[in-house]
Amino acid sequence: MFRSTPDITSANFCFFRFLHVLVCNAAVFALPWSLTKDHLETTFQVNHLGHFYLVQLLQDLLCRSAPARVVVVSSESHRFTDINDSSGKLDLSLLSPSKEEYWAMLAYNRSKLCNILFSNELHCRLSPHGVTSNAVHPGNMMYSSIHHNWWLYTLLFTLARPFTKSMVSDQLMLCLYIIHFNILGMKQQKS
């Protein structure tokens, strides 16, 4: 993903003068342990570092495009983890654990916590330049392709399917959310 990110930015974004909305949505879930070519645990790199790197590369374009907005798709499950050690200090080894210390659900939760911390910090740094950032939770156990790495999650998502939001309503909500805040931004600019 790291290697493909500069390609994405140079190939797709050099044609655009403005970028008003960036949605950081890509994620993996319940992967068996693996390392990327950068020697980092895959869930951590795909779910958090990839977005972090992409935003760094697009930061100038976003600032030039103000009002602009970054939406980071996180999850409620960020609540069920921590990235601090027992003395309350950030423990970097928890973010990209070894095979022995890896648990897929925990890796996902930690990456989603990183999404929120990143979004909050990005907002602090870029909002003075007219670029806001928000982290969102799209809904619980929505039937998508995210569970396909493990049959157990596929079963759970299938059982929950009649009682949860559909992906269509989720994507509609996200579009309405973006439109709402863009209109708000335009109104604020005019006044």
Ligand X SMILES: NC(=O)c1ccc[n+]([C@@H]2O[C@H](COP(=O)([O-])OP(=O)(O)OC[C@H]3O[C@@H](n4cnc5c(N)ncnc54)[C@H](OP(=O)(O)O)[C@@H]3O)[C@@H](O)[C@H]2O)c1
Taking CB under 6 A as the binding criterion, the range among 26-34, 54-62, 87-95, 180-188 that sits at the site for ligand X is 26-34
- Residue 189 makes contact with ligand X by CB under 6 A: no
Binding mask 84-123 for ligand X (x = CB under 6 A): ----------------------------------------
Binding to ligand X by CB under 6 A, coded x per residue (else -) over 121-140, reads: -----------------x-x
Q: Is the bond preceding 67 in cis, omega lying within 30 degrees of 0? A: yes
- The residue among 34 and 140 lying less far from ligand X, judged by its C-beta, is 140
In the set 19, 28, 70, 114, which binds ligand X (CB under 6 A)? Answer: 28
Question: Residue 129 has what DSSP assignment?
Answer: G
Q: According to CB under 6 A, which one of 145, 166, 188, 189 is a site residue for ligand X?
A: 145
Q: List the one residue out of 50, 60, 72, 65 whose CA is nearest residue 121.
A: 72
Q: Which residues are catalytic?
A: 108
Q: Which of 10, 12, 25, 189 binds ligand X (CB under 6 A)?
A: 25
Binding residue (CB under 6 A) for ligand X from 54, 73, 122, 126? 73
Given a contact cutoff of 8 angstroms between Cβ atoms, the answer to whether 51 and 24 are in contact is yes
User: Residue with structure tokens 């996902």?
Assistant: 108
Q: Which H/E stretch holds residue 131?
A: strand 131-136
Side-by-side strand order, sheet with 68-73: 21-24, 68-73, 131-136
Looking at beta carbons only, is 22 or 66 nearer to ligand X? 22
Identify the residue whose tokens are 């907005």: 69
Quick check: 27 binds ligand X (CB under 6 A)? yes
162: which 2 tokens? 């009649």
